[in-house]
Amino acid sequence: MTPKIALIARVGAHKSFLDAGVERLGVRGYDTPYGPSRPVHFFRHEGLEFALLSRHGEQGYEISAPFINSRANLYALKDLGVEKVLAWVAPGSLNGDMAPGDLVVPHDVLDEGKGGPHTFYAGVGWGFIRNHPLFCPELRKGLLAALAGVPFRVRDGAVYVATTGPRLETAAEIRKFRFLGGDLVGQTLAPEVFLARELELCYAALTYVVNYAEGLAERPYQPGVLFEGLATAAELARVAAVEKAFPEIILKVLPALAGAPRSCPCPRLMERYRLRGDLGDDWKTWVR
């Protein structure tokens, strides 16, 4: 199994593909210099092999965002030979034009988090790389083209504000993030996107809005329900429709992403350090 593309997704994402009848080739865990990765599932659909990893757990929400071992997960995918990563993410909306149930392809991140680690390259003289364009332009282009015709509203471009959980944000923080130009808020894209770039992986994100962030609408507190009343029943129904369509959406876009050229900067983000003689051809010697 040598998949070149991987999906990092929600809790128990592999079950959706199994229920959809997608051929599973196997599953295994990986020990890395950063600890064990999440289990990696291998699938094949219409001749395309892809890997899948669930950030938060296999059976349920086992680990919250600040405790995800993104370094181990991405190291495992790189070691497999993966070159391209699609992140499936469920943020809240800071922008009244981005409603629950919308699909949004972000173009930038505002990192307001306090978590980490944010680099593979602690204590060495490399890793100082540009982060614009942050998301792979070839994957974004292919993703947006492939989403044409899906039965959901698709938005091109958003600034994703990354925070540190597991708590949700205060209304005052949300006002600050909106003032700074944020459109979405969540806890998973950082440091994941930055770590992926350090390994020269092509990385793009497909998000689906799950709620309006705190303070955008007056919502009474409701104990015992998802988001404690931050999302209405009608909004949650729209979100559930997207989640139900998850395997269909992913299987629609993966061929376009797999076929996208790597003429982007992503495979050469560390080139300056190779030319300088700091790094050799074996990427594993960079990170240990």
Strands, sheet with 48-54, edge to edge from the N-terminal-most edge strand: 23-28, 40-45, 48-54, 5-9, 84-89, 202-208, 103-105, 154-156
**CA–CA gap between residue 97 and residue 63 (Å, rounded):** 31
- Average pLDDT in the chain: 95
Q: Looking at the domain assignment, is residue 74 inside a domain?
A: no
What pLDDT, in 10s, does the model give residues 61-91? 778 888 899 999 999 999 999 999 999 999 9
| Residue 176 covered by a domain | yes
- Quick one: pLDDT at residue 66? 87
- Spatial separation of the C-alpha atoms in residues 256 and 275, rounded to whole Å: 32
Query: What CATH number should be reported for the domain holding residue 241?
Result: 3.40.50.1580
Question: For 4-41, what is each residue's pLDDT tens digit?
Answer: 999 999 888 999 999 999 999 999 999 999 999 999 99
Enter the tokens of residue 66: 């600040």
Asked whether residue 215 is assigned to any structural domain, the reply reads: yes
Summarize pLDDT for 130-186 with one digit per residue, the tens: 999 999 999 999 999 999 999 999 999 999 999 998 999 999 999 999 999 999 999
pLDDT > 80? residue 288: no
- pLDDT > 70 fraction of the chain, expressed in percent and rounded: 99
pLDDT digits (tens, 9 = 90+) for 234-273: 999 999 999 999 999 999 999 999 999 999 999 999 999 9
Number of structural domains, the chain? Answer: 1
Residue 80 resides in a domain: no
Mean pLDDT for 104-113 is 97
**What amino acid is encoded at 85 in this protein?**
V
Dihedral, CA atoms, 15, 18, 20, 25, nearest 10 degrees?
Answer: 140
Residue 130 lies in a domain: yes
Within-domain flag for 46: no
pTM, rounded to two decimals: 0.96
Range of the structural domain that residue 171 is part of: 89-287
Residue 145, in any domain of the structure: yes
In a domain, 19, yes or no: no
Q: What angle do CA 266, 42, 133 make, to 5 degrees?
A: 15
- Which pLDDT does position 205 carry in this prediction? 98
